[in-house]
């Protein structure tokens, strides 16, 4: 969902920040990196070797930049023909050997707004048995849950039913404050590499990092407009080949903007994350926007989020 800056001062801050991307700005910022759809997500690269390559590159980049990321697992991806596939489980162990955390993203990645609540809740509960076993080897348990599509329920009753199960399972919801369309760039990137068009793939990857900087600029200003200050942020990206290949560039962009990488516990200790959230609309929107809507903010607040360039969208849709 797009959000418009509701005052000219915020709009000016965005334009000034965007005008100097080569400079370090906002020293003292913090961000927790959260990565969805583990073990991997790829349109065209689906062999065991592909999945190992994606995981190895992504985890190695996280290690290089000392990013205490958390990966959210869809356990349905761990099975082949109904049997647990050891190579996929080993990918989760690659994360835990690096000291990274794992969370529950449901078994099947069902959309809460499209299936009945009982089916969805059963899928939630089913979504962590392997993850628990992998983490148990290090004396840990999964602690965070991420809603697929960021869909949390279209009624307060559904939200309450989901929350009660999460409490029973001892999960805390992992919110998102920096959302984006990295998956569109990832599909375009996969398509280019599948055609062996490395020049096109490099162009898409470069455009991706530039787009992500615009996204950061936007949500930094949104934080100031909605909360009254910049808060520690929670970034959502996916376990794609694009992020595996270009996380180094993404990390450098974040560091240039003054961010230190931190864990989800640290970010959620900020008082902003205790803000009321009664949002029950159809969108999968950020928690910044949920807080604004809960407070009754309407009208000119909702527009201005960076868009994916049309050529990237077209490249993603190409089969």
Residue 64: CA atoms inside 13 Å, Cβ hemisphere, count? Answer: 14
The residue ranges of the chain whose pLDDT is under 50 are: 1-22
Residue 62 CB partners (closer than 8 Å, separation 6+): 33, 69, 98, 100, 247
- What pLDDT is attached to residue 17? 39
Question: Residue 300 carries which DSSP code?
Answer: G
- What pLDDT is attached to residue 303? 73
For residues 49, 52, 54, 56, the Cα torsion angle rounded to the nearest 10 degrees is: -140
239: helix, coil or strand?
A: coil
Domains of the chain, CATH where assigned: 8-317 (3.20.20.370)
- What pLDDT is attached to residue 302? 67
- What pLDDT is attached to residue 16? 33
- What pLDDT is attached to residue 26? 79
Nearest residue to 165 via CA among 130, 120, 135: 120
What tokens were used for 14?
A: 């965005």
- What pLDDT is attached to residue 104? 99
The dihedral of CA 299, 300, 302, 308: what is its sign? positive
Q: Please, what's the largest Cα pairwise distance for the chain?
A: 57
pTM, 2 dp = 0.92
List Cα–Cα distances, 89 to 34, 47, 62, 68, 271, in angstroms.
19, 14, 19, 20, 36
């Amino acid at each position: 969902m797009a959000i418009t800056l509701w005052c000219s001062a915020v709009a000016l801050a965005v334009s000034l920040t965007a005008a100097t991307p080569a400079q370090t700005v906002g020293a003292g910022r913090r961000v927790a990196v959260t990565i969805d759809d583990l073990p991997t997500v790829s349109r065209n690269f689906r062999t065991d070797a592909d999945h190992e390559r994606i995981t190895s590159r992504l985890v190695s980049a996280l290690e290089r930049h000392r990013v205490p990321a958390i990966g959210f697992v869809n356990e349905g991806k761990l099975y082949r023909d109904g049997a647990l596939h050891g190579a996929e489980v080993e990918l989760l162990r690659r994360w835990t050997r690096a000291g990274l955390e794992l969370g529950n993203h449901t078994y099947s990645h069902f959309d809460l707004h499209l299936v009945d609540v009982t089916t969805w809740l059963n899928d939630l509960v089913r979504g962590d048995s392997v993850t628990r076993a992998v983490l148990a080897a290090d004396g840990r348990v999964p602690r965070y849950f991420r809603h697929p599509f960021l869909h949390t329920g279209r009624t307060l009753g559904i939200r309450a039913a989901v929350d009660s199960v999460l409490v029973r399972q001892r999960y805390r919801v992992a919110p998102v404050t920096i959302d984006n369309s990295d998956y569109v760039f990832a599909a375009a990137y996969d398509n280019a590499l599948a055609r062996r068009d490395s020049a096109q793939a490099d162009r898409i990857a470069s455009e991706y990092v530039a787009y992500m900087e615009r996204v950061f600029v936007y949500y930094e200003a949104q934080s100031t407009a909605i909360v009254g200050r910049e808060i520690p942020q929670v970034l959502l990206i996916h376990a794609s080949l694009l992020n595996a290949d270009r996380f180094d560039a993404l990390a450098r962009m974040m560091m240039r903007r003054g961010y230190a990488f931190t864990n989800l516990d640290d970010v959620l200790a900020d008082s902003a994350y205790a803000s009321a959230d009664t949002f029950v609309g159809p969108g999968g929107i950020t928690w910044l926007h949920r807080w604004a809507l809960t407070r009754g903010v309407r009208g000119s607040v909702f527009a201005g989020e960076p868009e994916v360039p049309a050529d990237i969208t077209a490249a993603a849709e190409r089969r």
